[in-house]
């Protein structure tokens, strides 16, 4: 037979050492056979090294142990004995946390319960085995869906330990406006800018277009809001005094308070590809007639009159041209030429 001496009470994570002595059939002591004895625990997580047992922390349920000691004598006969060990909980404290601890109404947050030993060392996540409740109702799956705005308290219990945590529920509101779109256009071009928003939790939120105002530094630009596609359409008009760059300003305002403002700097390229010069083909010497200069796009379509901004000259030096009017001095043919934005065109008189 064999006889085992050692602790029969222990605490999870503690290590206990055992000694094994062998006796013959007459009860005489043969000697210490600890090193030749195999020890097995009925909890696989326990660590056994020779006759030294470290009792693992079993988060699912506090479990007493049955240790089986087996010694094989010189004749190959196995001699066994069992030792029952009462194991106490090592849990001294628990903490419950939520992530995030502030979220929108209807959002599901993650709940975590962690256990600690008397030294403050973590024993690990025990959420699966703890009880977490809200207003007396147990939660499941380590999750909590925020039911309303305000502070909500969750209570966690595990092995006679309790802890409480608060989570704040808020109605999502837009705090950041995001606008994406091109930053270089050609005059008369219409482009779409996508408008999206994020709430105070960094989540995408629907933009209330009634709270959105859009303006351009060129008032004549046409701005149309398409709520269905969450886009703002901007047509950059032809500006005869020059292809002026724009600043398009998107302002989100609620109850008189500007929540966010986004400015898009847009480089505007000239659309002028040709000119059309209109003047009477026959004029009496000394008469004054108007000269009209029209800018054309690549398709030959008129962009607008640019007479006031064009340089107009006559091939006859004595002719006078003032504010878009030609006064002819002398008889004969002449060529009236207009130049504008690097383009030129002429008319015969």
Question: What tens digit of pLDDT does each residue of 224-240 get?
Answer: 999 889 999 999 999 99
Quote the pLDDT of residue 243: 87
How confident is residue 307, by pLDDT bands cut at 50, 70 and 90?
very high
Q: What is the mean pLDDT of the chain?
A: 96
Mean pLDDT in residue range 321-347: 96
Quote the pLDDT of residue 306: 97
Asked whether the beta carbons of 348 and 333 are under 8 A apart, the reply is: yes
CA angle 257, 260, 264 (to 5 degrees): 135
Strand extents, DSSP E, 51-173:
52-54, 65-72, 78-88, 93-99, 102-104, 108-116, 122-125, 131-134, 137-138, 143-145, 150-158, 161-170
Q: What is the distance between the alpha carbons of residues 129 and 145, in angstroms, rounded to a whole number?
A: 20
How confident is residue 213, by pLDDT bands cut at 50, 70 and 90?
very high
How confident is residue 39, by pLDDT bands cut at 50, 70 and 90?
very high
Q: What is the distance between the alpha carbons of residues 75 and 79, in angstroms, rounded to a whole number?
A: 11
Tens digit of each residue's pLDDT (9 = 90 or more) over 81-140: 999 999 999 999 999 999 999 999 999 999 999 999 999 999 999 999 999 999 999 998
Q: What is the distance between the alpha carbons of residues 112 and 311, in angstroms, rounded to a whole number?
A: 77
Quote the pLDDT of residue 89: 98
Quote the pLDDT of residue 212: 96
Quote the pLDDT of residue 134: 96
Exposure of 135 in the CB half-sphere (CA atoms within 13 A):
5
Q: What is the distance between the alpha carbons of residues 309 and 292, in angstroms, rounded to a whole number?
A: 11
Q: What is the distance between the alpha carbons of residues 67 and 42, in angstroms, rounded to a whole number?
A: 7
Q: What are phi and psi of 286, to 5 degrees?
A: 95, -10
Quote the pLDDT of residue 282: 95
Tens digit of each residue's pLDDT (9 = 90 or more) over 255-304: 999 999 999 999 999 999 999 999 999 999 999 999 999 999 999 999 99
pLDDT above 90 as % of the chain: 97
């Amino acid at each position: 037979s064999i006889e085992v001496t050692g602790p029969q009470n222990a605490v999870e994570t503690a290590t206990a050492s055992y000694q094994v002595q062998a006796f013959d059939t007459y009860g005489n002591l043969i000697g210490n056979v600890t090193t030749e004895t195999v020890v097995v625990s009925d909890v696989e997580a326990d660590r056994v090294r020779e006759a030294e047992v470290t009792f693992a922390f079993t988060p699912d349920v506090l479990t007493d142990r049955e240790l089986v000691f087996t010694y094989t004598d010189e004749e190959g006969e196995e001699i066994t004995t069992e030792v029952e060990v009462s194991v106490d909980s090592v849990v001294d404290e628990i903490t419950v946390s939520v992530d995030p601890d502030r979220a929108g109404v209807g959002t599901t947050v993650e709940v975590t319960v962690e256990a600690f030993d008397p030294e403050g060392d973590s024993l690990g996540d025990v959420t699966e085995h703890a009880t977490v409740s809200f207003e007396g109702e147990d939660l499941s799956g380590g999750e909590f869906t925020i039911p309303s705005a305000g502070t909500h308290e969750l209570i966690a219990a595990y092995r006679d330990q309790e802890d409480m945590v608060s989570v704040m529920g808020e109605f999502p509101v837009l705090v950041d406006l995001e606008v994406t779109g091109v930053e270089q256009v050609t005059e008369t071009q219409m482009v779409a800018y996508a408008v999206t928003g994020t709430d105070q939790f960094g989540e995408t939120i629907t933009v209330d277009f009634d709270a959105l105002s859009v303006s351009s530094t060129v008032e004549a630009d046409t701005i149309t809001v398409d709520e269905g596609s969450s886009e703002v359409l901007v047509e950059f008009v032809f500006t005869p005094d020059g292809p002026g760059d724009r600043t398009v300003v998107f302002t989100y305002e609620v109850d008189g308070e500007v929540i966010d403002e986004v400015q898009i700097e847009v480089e505007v390229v000239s659309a002028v590809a040709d000119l059309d010069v209109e003047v009477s083909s026959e004029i009496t010497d000394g008469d004054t007639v108007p000269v009209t200069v029209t800018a054309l796009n690549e398709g030959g379509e008129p962009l607008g009159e640019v007479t006031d901004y064009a340089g107009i000259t006559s091939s006859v030096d004595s002719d006078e041209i003032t504010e878009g009017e030609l006064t002819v001095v002398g008889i004969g043919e002449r060529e009236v030429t207009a130049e504008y934005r690097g383009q030129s065109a002429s008319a015969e008189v």
